[in-house]
């Protein structure tokens, strides 16, 4: 067995000679060319070339990401963190102009009790917005800058270092001997030494995996709504600015709502248990939301706006790898309510590193790939508690007043004292773990005392009593 003291991501890790190592000419099939599939291919080739290993990597992806509208899009809010952009850049993936639409360095928190604007507490907490496909299917003014697709760029980057893009949908996964075989829509069957499922969870993607891989069950899915409106660059600048707008509104069924700028366009993103048209109408008519649109703005008819209702992954699949198969991105495990592209990056990189440096056996996948996925799943469990807490902040007016008061007070303080601001930023957009957020909130006595004070004051305002009357009320 290999020397286990060498780190899995070291290019000096021993390989070769074991029955389940990859060797020259081995073929890897990847189903799905979204971020998880493209990045798995990229890292497989990038790392294998560094150790002189020649692999053949095929990516099956039927979508043309340069197409406008739903057909070219992998439906998402389109927010990525500065940290992810920098990590990709360090590994040779540098985004050309036109991919990153707007840089966001502040956000506005809208609650039932008012709004507050918050500057990103630290430089590395900036985020950027992207379009996954060729842009929304809405009439743009002539001469508007071209929109470049994030997913298209990643797929092209993987192809540039040797991946082969097969523009076909996989309709069946089966076995030939002990090797996986995929059947494309054209009927062509190809056998691989290893198969990576990176299909995401939309449409029939997970049914394909369930039928073809014994024991695979997809993650639990939630519902969401994404729509994009063309407002023009000046209106976006004036109404939305360079802020991500986060809404803590008491609209039943909507857990998480945000509006973000993308050049001349704004994206509205709602996540909840069963987001329906009535909830969307309720949200768009809320006074805190209408502030983000021009006065007298009329929502365009459905045919002139680009909207979709994608499923969102809320957990992890029943298995993350097996015999000659592994799952990266959403169809394996992703982060709860945020940073899905970051999770696709982490799982793709961990999977590729394991295959190239340690081999393809379930034992090495368990040792080197599984911990990365398990860390994401464990963090999501804490994330659920964080969201329960935020659910209270969102629905109880006195609590959202307290959050607002503490957040307002923190502005102008040094970054390390802006704990509520950092927490809000990280819960909704940042790449920080939920564990860190939890620790930051609950292991800081100064913050807890400050917040408890704000809650008491907000409660007094809510009850319309002064401190003594409040004290007497509480004692009764």
**Site stretch for ligand FAD (CB under 6 A), options 19-27, 60-68, 229-237, 289-297:** 60-68
Mind spelling out the 3-state secondary structure of 41-62? HHHHHHHHHHCCCCCEEEEECC
What part of residues 157-216 is at the interface with ligand FAD (CB under 6 A)?
169-170, 198-200, 202, 205, 208
By CB under 6 A, is residue 77 in contact with ligand FAD? yes
Query: Which lies closer to ligand FAD via its Cβ, residue 158 or residue 459?
Result: 158
Q: Residue 6: phi, psi to the nearest 5?
A: -85, 135
Q: Which of 15, 22, 34, 373 binds ligand FAD (CB under 6 A)?
A: 34
**Site stretch for ligand FAD (CB under 6 A), options 1-9, 75-83, 282-290, 416-424:** 75-83
Considering the complex, what minimum distance in angstroms separates the CB of residue 166 from ligand FAD? 9
Query: Which lies closer to ligand FAD via its Cβ, residue 310 or residue 359?
Result: 310
37: left (phi over 0), alpha (psi -120 to 50) or beta: alpha
By CB under 6 A, is residue 244 in contact with ligand FAD? no
**Site stretch for ligand FAD (CB under 6 A), options 2-10, 58-66, 188-196, 242-250:** 58-66
Please check whether residue 250 is in contact with residue 394, taking contact to mean a CB–CB distance below 8 angstroms. Answer: yes
Query: Which lies closer to ligand FAD via its Cβ, residue 152 or residue 401?
Result: 152
By CB under 6 A, is residue 312 in contact with ligand FAD? yes
d(CA 417, CA 91): 33
By CB under 6 A, is residue 35 in contact with ligand FAD? yes
Please check whether residue 182 is in contact with residue 192, taking contact to mean a CB–CB distance below 8 angstroms. Answer: yes
Q: Which of 32, 135, 212, 383 binds ligand FAD (CB under 6 A)?
A: 32
By CB under 6 A, is residue 340 in contact with ligand FAD? yes
Considering the complex, what minimum distance in angstroms separates the CB of residue 407 from ligand FAD? 22
CB atoms within 10 A of CB 89: 11
308: left (phi over 0), alpha (psi -120 to 50) or beta: beta
The contacts of residue 439 (CB under 8 Å, 6+ apart) are: none
**Site stretch for ligand FAD (CB under 6 A), options 110-118, 294-302, 314-322, 340-348:** 340-348
By CB under 6 A, is residue 423 in contact with ligand FAD? no
**Site stretch for ligand FAD (CB under 6 A), options 26-34, 232-240, 349-357, 388-396:** 26-34
The encoded tokens of residue 434 equal: 């939920």
Considering the complex, what minimum distance in angstroms separates the CB of residue 412 from ligand FAD? 29
Query: Which lies closer to ligand FAD via its Cβ, residue 400 or residue 431?
Result: 431
Binding-site size, ligand FAD (CB under 6 A): 40
Q: Residue 333: phi, psi to the nearest 5?
A: -145, 145
Q: Which of 101, 224, 370, 431 binds ligand FAD (CB under 6 A)?
A: 224
The encoded tokens of residue 473 equal: 């009320």
Considering the complex, what minimum distance in angstroms separates the CB of residue 116 from ligand FAD? 22
Q: Which of 116, 344, 352, 399 binds ligand FAD (CB under 6 A)?
A: 344
By CB under 6 A, is residue 78 in contact with ligand FAD? yes
Give the residues lining the site for ligand FAD (CB under 6 A).
31-37, 60-63, 74-80, 169-170, 198-200, 202, 205, 208, 224, 226, 269, 271, 310, 312, 329-330, 334, 339-342, 344
């Amino acid at each position: 067995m290999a020397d286990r003291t060498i780190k899995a991501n070291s290019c000096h890790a021993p390989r070769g000679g074991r029955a389940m190592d990859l060797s020259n000419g081995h073929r890897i099939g990847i189903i799905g060319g979204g971020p998880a599939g493209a990045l798995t291919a990229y890292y497989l080739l990038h790392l294998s070339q560094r150790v002189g290993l020649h692999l053949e990597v095929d990516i099956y992806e039927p979508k043309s990401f340069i197409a406008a509208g739903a057909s070219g899009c992998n439906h998402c809010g389109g927010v990525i963190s500065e940290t992810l952009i920098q990590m990709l850049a360090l590994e040779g993936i540098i985004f050309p102009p036109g991919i990153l639409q707007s840089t966001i360095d502040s956000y506005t928190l809208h609650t039932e009790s008012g709004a507050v604007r918050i500057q990103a507490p630290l430089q590395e907490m900036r985020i950027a917005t992207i379009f996954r496909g060729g842009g929304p299917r809405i009439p743009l003014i002539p001469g508007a800058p071209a929109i470049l697709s994030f997913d298209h760029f990643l797929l092209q980057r993987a192809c540039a270092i040797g991946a082969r893009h097969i523009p076909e949908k996989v309709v069946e996964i089966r076995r030939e001997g002990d090797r996986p075989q995929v059947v494309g829509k054209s009927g062509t069957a190809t056998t691989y030494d290893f198969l990576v499922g990176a299909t995401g969870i939309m449409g029939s993607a997970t049914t394909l995996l369930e039928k073809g891989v014994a024991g695979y069950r997809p993650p639990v899915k939630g519902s969401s709504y994404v729509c994009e409106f063309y407002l023009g660059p000046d209106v976006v600048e004036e109404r939305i600015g360079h802020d991500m707008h986060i809404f803590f509104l008491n609209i039943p069924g909507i857990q998480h709502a945000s509006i973000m700028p993308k050049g001349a366009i704004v994206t509205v993103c709602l996540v909840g248990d069963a987001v329906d048209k009535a909830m969307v109408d309720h949200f768009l008519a809320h006074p805190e939301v209408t502030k983000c649109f021009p006065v007298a703005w009329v929502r365009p008819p459905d045919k002139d706006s680009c909207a979709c209702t994608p499923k969102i992954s809320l957990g992890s699949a029943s298995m993350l790898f097996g015999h000659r198969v592994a799952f990266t991105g959403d169809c394996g495990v992703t982060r709860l309510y945020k940073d899905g592209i970051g999770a696709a990056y982490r799982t793709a990189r961990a999977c590729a590193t394991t295959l190239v440096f340690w081999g393809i056996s379930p034992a090495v996948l368990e040792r080197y790939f599984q911990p990365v996925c398990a860390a994401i799943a464990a963090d999501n469990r804490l994330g659920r508690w964080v969201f329960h807490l935020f659910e209270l902040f969102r629905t109880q007016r006195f609590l959202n007043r307290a959050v607002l008061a503490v957040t307002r007070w923190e502005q102008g303080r040094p970054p390390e004292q802006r704990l509520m601001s950092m927490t809000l930023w990280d819960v909704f957009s940042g790449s920080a773990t939920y564990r860190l957020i939890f620790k930051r909130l609950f292991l800081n006595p100064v913050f807890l005392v400050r917040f408890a004070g704000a809650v008491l004051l907000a409660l007094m305002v809510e009850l319309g009593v002064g401190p003594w009357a409040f004290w007497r009320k509480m004692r009764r």
